[in-house]
Amino acid sequence: MEARREVLVVGDALLDVTVQPAAPIQAGADVPAEIRIGCGGQGANLAVRLARQRVDVELVCGLGDDRAGALVTDALRAEGVQLSPVSVESTGAVVILLDEVGERTMLSRRAPFAANARVLFADWTVVSGYLFLEAEGVSLAQALGMGTTRRVVAGCAVPEPSRSAWKAAVAAMHPDLLILNRDEARTLAPIDGLSTAIVITAPDVVVASIGEVRATVHVSPGTGATDTTGAGDAFAAGLVAELRSAAWPPPHSSLEGAMTKAVALASQVARAPGAQPRVAAEAPA
């Protein structure tokens, strides 16, 4: 029998193309830009950040038999991420346009795989919210909700027509922890039929409610963000990495300490280029 993983992540692994123009984009113009190509996607970002915290992590993701899939596979394995790939027609990709203050505009082509995703065993299961935008999202959520693992959902931007189905999928999974940013919380919370712990992140403060435990961590202004790509995923991974060995629900000191470390990691990521830059808060390669 295979050893049970510490953390199973279910989510996208994509080819990231990040574009930062040196001047405003104009129709018909040739604008100089810095362009980076690498591995991204919420699932991959979560898995890489966990692996760098010395967490035994496996990623279930959709990968095609193409050059993009080979690049993404090599990058993830080099980080120590175990892979359980789901075959898709072609590997997904996202183009990220950055403005002068690091805010993103994302052009995404996901490769849906929820219908064929394997439900594996782990102590913690972290699921990307993007999976619940797929037609088979509720079925996957129900399967994941039947396990004894600690379950976490990392939020995402959910278009208005998809919100009811997305919230139904989240409720079907019965997560122990739901992580949303402030904008996501405003449009998605509360979720009917769901009594769960919730962490809400914002540029200036992070608040958490787990059972009767409440914690607030203020974010130091510091140096402004230069690229927020993957910062939210870094926070979620940092939080799980710290809480995985704590009692549940965690005492206030454990929760506040985990949030503080997760904020520090996310803040460093937001000041570095790309979705998966290695930062000081992580273990050395």
Average pLDDT over residues 184-207: 82
Average pLDDT, whole number, for the chain?
Answer: 91
44 in Cβ contact with 11 (< 8 Å)? yes
> With contact defined as beta carbons under 8 Å apart, do 154 and 127 qualify?
yes
pLDDT exceeds cutoff 50 at 1: no
Domain ranges of the chain: 5-270
Asked which of 51-55, 56-60, 209-213 is least confident by mean pLDDT, the reply is 209-213
Angle at Cα 116 formed by Cα 10 and Cα 181, nearest 5°?
30
The average pLDDT across 231-257 equals 94
Residues 203 and 216: their CA atoms lie apart, in Å, by 13
- The percent of residues in the chain predicted with pLDDT above 70, rounded, is 96
CATH architecture of the domain with residue range 5-270? 3-Layer(aba) Sandwich (3.40)
Average pLDDT score over residue span 165-182: 93
pTM: 0.92
Question: Residues 248-271: what's their mean pLDDT?
Answer: 94
- Report the C-alpha gap between 146 and 8 in whole angstroms: 15
The per-residue pLDDT for range 43-54, each reduced to its tens digit, is: 999 999 999 999
**From CA 206, how far away is CA 261, in angstroms rounded?**
12
Q: What is the DSSP string of 256-267?
A: HHHHHHHHHHHH
92's tokens:
């997904």
3-state DSSP assignment of residue 68? helix
In the block, tokens 């693992």 appear at: 149
Res. 172: pLDDT tops 80: yes
Range from 77-86, 199-208, 219-228, 272-281 that averages highest in pLDDT = 77-86
87-122: per-residue pLDDT in tens?
999 999 999 898 876 678 889 999 999 999 988 889
Tokens of 119: 């439900």
Q: Tell me the one-letter amino acid at 136.
A: E
